[in-house]
Amino acid sequence: MDSFITWIGGKKLLRKKITEIFPENIDRYVEVFGGAAWVLFYKEKYAKQEIYNDINGELVNLFKCVKYHPNAIVEELQLILNARQIFNDFQQNKNRTDLTDIQRAAMFYYIIRTSYGAKLEQYSANYRSPYLLLQNVEEIAKRLSRVVIENKNFTDILAQYDKEDTLFYCDPPYYKAEKMYHMGNYVFDKEQHILLRDSLRNIKGHFVLSYNDDEFVRNLYEGFDIQEVERSSNLSFSNGKRGIYKELIITNF
Ligand SMILES: C[S@@+](CC[C@H](N)C(=O)[O-])C[C@H]1O[C@@H](n2cnc3c(N)ncnc32)[C@H](O)[C@@H]1O
C-alpha cells in the first residue's frame, strides 16, 4: 500500500531496496523518523509490535486522526474547496488553538496536498481535490490500527524501545538538507547527526539507516556496513533523461 501523503524525503522510490535489507524474525519494528511512513505502508506487517514516531506534532496529529477518526477527516475535507485563497487562509491560521484535532488534521492534510512539492509553502494549482485523494482512508486506518503512534525526539524512542529483537528504521533529515522540515525554530543540526550516531552505536537491537551520500556521513559511520544505492531524481535533464542520486543504507548487522 502507498502512504496517504507526499512528504519531503519520503522513501517511495527506495522502499523496496530498504526492506530487502531488513533482518527476519523481528519482534518490534520502529520507524524513528516516521514522516509519511512509506516503508511502513509498503508491507502489511513487519513485526508483532510496530511503532511510528515523528517529532512534528501536526504530522503526528494527522496520523492519529486518520487512525482513530478516518471518516471524520474525510467529512471535514469534503466541504473545503480546492482554492488558493483557502490555502493562504490555512497557512496564516496554522497556529490557531480554537480548532479540534480533527479540524487541525484536515487543515494540515489540505496544506500538504495542495502545496507545491508538498513543501507546505506555496499553493500549487491542482485539479485533484484533497478530499478525492483520501478515498482509501479506511484502508489506511486499518494498517495503522496495530501501530503505536509516538511524538518524541529520536533519543527517547531509541531508549524506550530498544531490545535485542527490535529493528529501528531511521530516516533522519539528510545532511545539509535539514531546513526542509518546518518545525518553528527547531533544526536538526550537526550535533544531532552526531548524537544519532552515538545513540545508534549503543543499541542492543538492529538498525537500518538511510542517508544522502556525503563524506561527512561516510566518516561518521565508518566501521558500520554501508551500501550505496541509486534512485532517479524527480528532475529531468534537458535531454529528457532523469538525474541519478546516490544514497546510503547503513546497518549494524
Ligand atoms: C526524511 S523524513 C522521513 C521520511 C519517511 N521515511 C517517509 O518515507 O516519508 C525525516 C522526518 O524526521 C522528522 N524529525 C526531524 N527531527 C526529528 C527528531 N529529532 N526526532 C524524531 N523525528 C524527527 C521530521 O519531522 C521528518 O518527518
CA of 171 to the centre of ligand 1 (A): 6
To 5 degrees, how large is the angle CA 78–CA 81–CA 83?
Answer: 150
Residue 223 in grid coordinates: 566501521
How far apart are the CA of 19 and the centre of ligand 1, in A? 18
> Which of 41, 55, 231 gets mutated to test ligand 1 (max ligand atoms within 8 A of its CB)?
55
H helices of the chain, in order, are 15-21, 38-42, 57-68, 70-78, 84-92, 101-114, 137-144, 154-161, 190-201, 215-220
For ligand 1, the distance from its centroid to the CA atom of residue 238, given in whole angstroms, is: 32
Confidence at 195, pLDDT banded by 50, 70, 90: very high
Produce one character per residue of 16-44: b if its CB has 16 or more CB atoms within 10 Å, e if not: ebbeeebeeebebbbbbbbbbbbbbbbee
pLDDT tens per residue, range 112-143: 999 988 888 889 977 778 888 899 999 999 99
CA 181 vs CA 51, 56, 89, 128, 176: distances in Å: 21, 9, 21, 25, 12
pLDDT in tens, 152-181: 999 999 999 999 999 999 999 999 989 888
Highest-pLDDT range among 115-124, 145-154, 184-193: 145-154
Tell me the one-letter amino acid at 14: L
Which CATH superfamily is 1-56+151-253 part of?
Vaccinia Virus protein VP39 (3.40.50.150)
pLDDT for the residue numbered 166: 98
Range with the poorest average pLDDT among 1-5, 66-70, 85-89, 170-174: 85-89
Contacts made by residues 177-186, CB under 8 angstroms, sequence distance 24+: 177/9, 177/212, 180/8, 180/9, 180/119, 181/8, 181/56, 182/56, 182/120, 183/55, 183/56, 186/55
pLDDT in the model for residue 140: 98
Least confident segment among 66-75, 92-101, 102-111, 179-188: 179-188
Please give the pLDDT value at position 237: 54
- Do residues 184 and 56 lie in contact, with contact meaning Cβ atoms separated by under 8 Å? no
Round the average pLDDT of the chain to a whole number and report it. Answer: 92
Q: List, chain by chain if needed, residues with CB within 6 Å of any ligand 1 atom.
A: 7, 9-11, 33, 35-39, 54-56, 153-154, 171-173, 181, 188
Measuring CA to CA, which residue among 144, 137, 3 is closest to residue 70?
Answer: 137
190-201 helix and 154-161 helix, angle to the nearest 10 degrees:
10
Give the fold, CATH level 3, of 57-141. Adenine-specific Methyltransferase; domain 2 (1.10.1020)
pLDDT band at 236 (very low <50, low <70, confident <90, very high): low
- What is the average per-residue pLDDT within 214-240? 84
Share of the chain above pLDDT 70, in %: 96
Ligand 1 atom with the shortest distance to the CA of 31? 6
Q: How far apart are CA 77 and CA 1, in angstroms?
A: 22
- The best mutation among 5, 54, 152 to test binding of ligand 1, ranked by most ligand atoms within 8 Å of the C-beta, falls on 54
Q: Which of 156, 148, 164, 248 is nearest to 206 (CA)?
A: 164
> Cβ contacts of residue 5 below 8 Å, gap of 6+?
36, 62, 109, 112, 113, 118
- pLDDT higher than threshold 70 for residue 233: no
Share of residues in the chain with pLDDT > 90 (%): 76
- pLDDT score of 12 more than 70: yes
Pick left, alpha or beta for residue 176 (phi over 0 → left; psi -120 to 50 → alpha; otherwise beta): left
Q: Whose CA is nearest to atom 27 of ligand 1?
A: 35
> Nearest Cα to 153, choosing from 57, 237, 28, 40?
57
Question: So what's the pLDDT on residue 118?
Answer: 87
Output the CA 129–ligand 1 centroid distance in Å.
Answer: 26
Read off the pTM.
0.94
Domain positions in the chain are 1-56+151-253, 57-141
What's the alpha-carbon Rg for the chain, to the nearest Å? 18
Give the Cβ contact number of residue 226 at 10 Å. Answer: 16
pLDDT per residue as tens digits for the range 62-83: 999 999 999 999 999 998 888 8
What is the whole-number distance in angstroms between the Cα of residue 7 and the centre of ligand 1?
A: 10
Residue 209's identity, in one-letter code, is L
DSSP secondary-structure letter at 58? Answer: H
Q: Ligand 1: distance of its center to the CA of 173 in Å?
A: 6
pLDDT(46) > 60 = yes
Nearest CA to ligand 1 atom 23: 55
